[in-house]
Amino acid sequence: MDADIRACYLKAGKAIAAALKKATEICKPGLKFLDFTTQVEQTIRNAGCGFGFPLNVSLDSLAAHYSSPIGD
């Protein structure tokens, strides 16, 4: 594997690890989806990475791939 590609994979892995850590720290009853996704996305940005699409979450009976509506 090319060294640059490997470096990108490692950077992405570290960003996701930080995002998962942040998500588990802040996920509490009553937290709005928008607040949750904003904080987790910011953690990824702070790690120097971007997005192909917004963070998607699901809650109990809601289907996966749910994005927070405007004003959530």
Encode the chain (72 residues) as per-residue pLDDT tens digits: 899 999 999 999 999 999 999 999 999 999 988 899 999 999 999 999 998 888 878 777 766 666 667 776
- Give the domain ranges of the chain: 1-72
Residues contacting residue 36 through CB under 8 Å, at least 6 positions apart: 23, 26, 27, 57
For 22, the token pair is 């942040």
Q: Are 47 and 34 in contact (CB under 8 A)?
A: no
